[in-house]
Structure 1
Amino acid sequence: MTTWIRRARSGGEALQTLVDGLAEALGRSVVLDDPLVRMICTSRHFGDEDRVRVRTLLQGIADDEIIRYVLSQGVAEWTRPGVLPGRDDLGLQPRYCVPIRERGHLLGILMVVAAGEPLTAAETEAIDRAARAVAVEMYAERLASDDDEEHVRGLVSGLVGSDSALRCAAHQRLVDDGLLPAGPHVVVTSVVVAGQRGPSGQVAVALRGALEPFRRTRTARGLPAVDQDRAVLVQVFDREPTEEDLEQQGRAVVRSLTTFLGPGPSVAVGVGGRRTALADAWISHDQARVAVRAARRLPRLEGVGDWERLGEYAVFLQLPDSALDESLLPNPLRRLLDDSAGARLEETLRCFLENAGSVPRTAEMLELHRTSLYYRLRQIQEITGLDLDDGAHRLVLHMGLRLWDLLQSVPEAAAR
């Protein structure tokens, strides 16, 4: 069972050769996945294929439910081979799994369908030899990929940084090397993951996987730069993207990261403003960082903030996290919130201000008789000491409520 290992060629062909050779030697189906359980290469069937294998081959990627199940078993943290239990409800036969590791890096997972007769000692030895050969090939590819990624990270960092000379140089290099076009519609997205307690490097791997689909779409070219727990995606669109386009993209990133990392970590995506030239990507990036902070502080955004939709929240979010505390709340609003009827009156005040002080619209939305609404408004004025007919007084209360929204969900750590 060893001669076919020595005949393997370099690159992707070598991995395919190793997988095919092992499968033929075992008479079992074999697949090589990346650390996110996405298929790299696979052997032919040997009559042991299950629904999961067939569906993955047809789609080119496993269903999210399968990925979540495999990762929930801790396979990505294994340091030695083990058996992944089957799941009849998922159509999954047991797999003998070997984590492909080299110098502390998880490079992939080699899986052998383990239905039917148990693997013999000779077969597990053959799998182990194949896994070592796969590790050599994948580590060489990893080193080359790391060099490329470091180069891209440096260019993107320069493009969106504060040094104008570095921005100009990075812009020229990105365009000259064909990594990104100069325009016409540029958007920068920032992604932050907080609260992950898994193995070191797992978040970065998940970020790469989540952003990979956006390197090239039907309407855009993208370039992601990934750090340990955050990433920046610079995209140049052929046409101006709509708010709905970018929201769907942000939601897709959140879903992917939730699949890859599980429900524990907090994921926030911030979409910057739309610019018309790659040279102005730094402006969109600064706005994306503000939008990330909004996504982390406003639960109603469900993890995705868009600069173009932040409105007055963007004003407060220019402040550092250390300054965003209750000391900024106007005293009149604080008195209202502390009142025994505070929750009911806060709701009434919000609705009244959101409807530009219209009593008919406010009464309709709150399903209140106007007499009852007027009574509540008088209570608000008595408690706050402010006149709701005064535009400046209404502004104080409205901005105070916006600030109160931001204070309801304090992130674990400030987004840089």
Structure 2
Amino acid sequence: MAEQVQRAQVGSDALQRLVEELAAKLRRSVVVDDPLVRFICSSRHFEDADPVRIRSLLQGRADSEIIRYVLDQGVAQWTKPGFIAGRDDLGLLTRYCVPLRERGHLLGLLMVVSPDGRLTPRETEAIARTSARVAAQMYAEHAAADADEAQERELLSALLGASATARNTARERLRDSGVLPNAGHAVVTVVQVAPSPEPPGQVEVALRGALEGLTRTRSAHGLLTVGAERAVLLQVGDRPVSARELTEQSLRVIEALDTFLDASAAPVLGIGGRQSGVADAWTSYEQAVVAARAARRMPRLKRVGDWEELGEFAVLLQLPDHALNDSLLPKPLRTLLEAAGGQRLEETLRSFLEHAGSIPRTAEALQIHRTSLYYRLRQIQEVTGLDLDSGADRLVLHLGLRVRDLLVTPGDGTAA
């Protein structure tokens, strides 16, 4: 770990020197950001600072609105430098942006403030030379970091995998290396992203950027593994991570991914059950995968599913995706949904079942007279042919409504 910190400091110093040298040549402010437009290093300014630059220096990061604006210009897909137009309403001056690439990887963005949107050939040549050196330096740092993290990713995958023997071996190696303490509590979070038009590698960068701060929090220590369309975070600690902290974490992750990625990515997050010890982390992982499916299928969860709050949905979501279709809806319920006034009768049935068949509470929830409620319930029985006084018939209808909740297409309220 000490070697990693020392190496990072050396790399940071080298980048800073390159940026300062270029800025001095150009007499213009220069900044290097990562692929998510997050601040890495910056030169001193030359009376060309704008509010965006000042806030970035003070806060160590750009505002979400600025990040989204820059990414919307398609910079992650640029193969050559170009200008990013200024925006007075955002306090942003025009910038010349160079995508820093090495061996096909986008490592970051080098930006030079140019309020009038013009640079001389000599200036662009100097920028190109320095950009190449900056990209080479950043690639060397990334390669070293990847080598350090590869083993941790492999061990985390084994720790959460299906083989008990591999899990035990991984747990011992993680404990012996000091990477992950043998703490008394564990919880796994899974983040999934839908296929999107983002350039190769950008989703992985965004997932890492949104989650990396959670590998060490006030109450837990964690390990993170990131793939092309999903990430897995294991957190362990001497006490359970509270439900409130997990919720706050989840909302921050979703908000960050909404900033970093196109809207079509539609990220969702699943939180597994809280387990007593690293040995049972694999169980939390399996539960987190189910919770993420719930978040994808159930709009009311607002893209965050928690295993411990899924109830009976946790059982239904064990079914494979191809089995979750309209064929699972009981015929009496399908008949009700297709009947005249089916939406009103469905709402009535749902409320009646949610309130355990209590007439007073159902009528109050629906804000209708009890006489009207009795009339609707008689209609439901006539249409479905079922007896609402029968526990078995109620279970059929209630389970059918739960299945229907999993078939609703987000955004339009229709069955999938």
Deviation at 1:140, TM superposition (A): 0.9
CA distance, structure 2, for counterparts of residue 212 and residue 117 of structure 1 = 35
CA distance, structure 2, for counterparts of residue 370 and residue 336 of structure 1 = 21
State the partner residue of 1:355.
355
State the partner residue of 1:341.
341
State the partner residue of 1:13.
13
- Residue 52 of structure 1 aligns to which amino acid in structure 2? V
3-state SS of 1:157 partner: helix
State the partner residue of 1:72.
72
Residues 175-219 of structure 1 show CA distances to partners (whole Å, capped at 9, x for unaligned) of 222222222221100111013112111111111101111011111
Correspondence 1:117-266 to 2 at 5 A: 118-266=118-266
CA distance, structure 2, for counterparts of residue 29 and residue 176 of structure 1 = 47
Deviation at 1:229, TM superposition (A): 0.6
Deviation at 1:149, TM superposition (A): 3.2
CA distance, structure 2, for counterparts of residue 83 and residue 283 of structure 1 = 50
Deviation at 1:391, TM superposition (A): 1.6
- Residue 49 of structure 2 aligns to which amino acid in structure 1? E
Residues 328-379 of structure 1 show CA distances to partners (whole Å, capped at 9, x for unaligned) of 1111111111112110000001111111111111111111010000000011
Deviation at 1:244, TM superposition (A): 2.5
State yes or no: 1:44 paired with 2:44: yes
CA distance, structure 2, for counterparts of residue 262 and residue 65 of structure 1 = 13
Residues 371 and 66 (structure 1 numbering): CA distance in 2 closer, same or farther, change over 3 Å?
same
CA distance, structure 2, for counterparts of residue 262 and residue 69 of structure 1 = 11
CA distance, structure 1, for counterparts of residue 131 and residue 117 of structure 2 = 21
Aligned length: 403
Deviation at 1:410, TM superposition (A): 8.1
State the partner residue of 1:6.
none
CA distance, structure 1, for counterparts of residue 141 and residue 307 of structure 2 = 38
Residues 103-122 of structure 1 show CA distances to partners (whole Å, capped at 9, x for unaligned) of 11101100111125832211
Deviation at 1:10, TM superposition (A): 5.2
Give percent identity, aligned residues only.
61
CA distance, structure 1, for counterparts of residue 269 and residue 144 of structure 2 = 29
Verify the 8 A CA contact 2:297 2:408 in the aligned structure 1. yes
State the partner residue of 2:25.
25
3-state SS of 1:44 partner: coil
Verify the 8 A CA contact 1:10 1:137 in the aligned structure 2. no
3-state SS of 1:199 partner: coil
Deviation at 1:152, TM superposition (A): 2.1
3-state SS of 2:264 partner: coil
State yes or no: 1:105 paired with 2:99: no
3-state SS of 1:89 partner: helix
Deviation at 1:25, TM superposition (A): 1.4
Verify the 8 A CA contact 2:190 2:285 in the aligned structure 1. yes
Verify the 8 A CA contact 2:307 2:314 in the aligned structure 1. yes
CA distance, structure 2, for counterparts of residue 81 and residue 341 of structure 1 = 60
3-state SS of 2:136 partner: helix
State yes or no: 1:323 paired with 2:323: yes
State the partner residue of 1:309.
309
- Bigger mean CA offset, 145-154 vs 366-375: 145-154
- Residue 219 of structure 1 aligns to which amino acid in structure 2? S
Deviation at 1:409, TM superposition (A): 2.7
State the partner residue of 1:295.
295
Correspondence 1:57-96 to 2 at 5 A: 57-96=57-96
State the partner residue of 1:380.
380
CA distance, structure 1, for counterparts of residue 238 and residue 249 of structure 2 = 16
- Residue 401 of structure 2 aligns to which amino acid in structure 1? L
| 5+ long unaligned stretches in structure 1 | 1-8, 412-416
CA distance, structure 2, for counterparts of residue 373 and residue 196 of structure 1 = 47
Aligned structure 1 segments of 4 or more residues deviating by more than 4 angstroms: none
Root mean square deviation of aligned Cα? 1.5
Residues 223-245 of structure 1 show CA distances to partners (whole Å, capped at 9, x for unaligned) of 11001111100011343223232
State yes or no: 1:369 paired with 2:366: no
Deviation at 1:148, TM superposition (A): 2.7
CA distance, structure 1, for counterparts of residue 113 and residue 295 of structure 2 = 42
CA distance, structure 2, for counterparts of residue 319 and residue 118 of structure 1 = 59
3-state SS of 1:269 partner: strand
3-state SS of 1:58 partner: helix
CA distance, structure 2, for counterparts of residue 245 and residue 214 of structure 1 = 11
State the partner residue of 2:6.
none
Verify the 8 A CA contact 1:224 1:232 in the aligned structure 2. yes
CA distance, structure 2, for counterparts of residue 410 and residue 175 of structure 1 = 42
Deviation at 1:389, TM superposition (A): 1.4
- Residue 150 of structure 1 aligns to which amino acid in structure 2? A
| 5+ long unaligned stretches in structure 2 | 1-8, 412-416
- Residue 70 of structure 1 aligns to which amino acid in structure 2? V
Deviation at 1:259, TM superposition (A): 0.5
CA distance, structure 2, for counterparts of residue 173 and residue 50 of structure 1 = 50
CA distance, structure 1, for counterparts of residue 284 and residue 323 of structure 2 = 24
Verify the 8 A CA contact 2:197 2:262 in the aligned structure 1. no
Verify the 8 A CA contact 2:96 2:117 in the aligned structure 1. no
3-state SS of 2:281 partner: helix
- Bigger mean CA offset, 300-309 vs 323-332: 323-332
